[in-house]
Amino acid sequence: MCRILEVHRSGFYAWRHAPLSRRAREAQRLETKIKQFWMESGCNYGYRNIELDLEEAGEVIPPKNNRGDKWNFVP
């Protein structure tokens, strides 16, 4: 795979084992909450109701994530 991507194996494994960034950890935490609210709704809530639940829980949704990539994980 490294040959196809034209990267060194050492660089690939260093990247693979690097800790998640602060932004990635925050995105995971927010994704977990969104999944929780969606499952609690019986898998019926859309983004508007989930955003209301997040606001009630005191979460601040970064503007870049609004109605964008944060919904891609919902089946």
**Under 8 Å between Cβ of 53 and 61:** no
Tokens representing 20 are: 């998640």
How many Å apart are CA 2 and CA 9, to the nearest integer? 6
**pLDDT tens per residue, range 31-51:** 899 899 999 999 888 888 888
Q: What are the extents of the domains in the chain? A: 21-75
In angstroms, the Cα distances linking 14 to 5, 19, 22, 42 are: 15, 10, 18, 41
* One pLDDT digit (tens) per residue for the chain, 75 residues: 888 989 999 999 998 999 988 888 888 898 899 899 999 999 888 888 888 999 999 988 766 655 555 545 444
**Under 8 Å between Cβ of 33 and 52:** no
Tokens representing 12 are: 């690939």
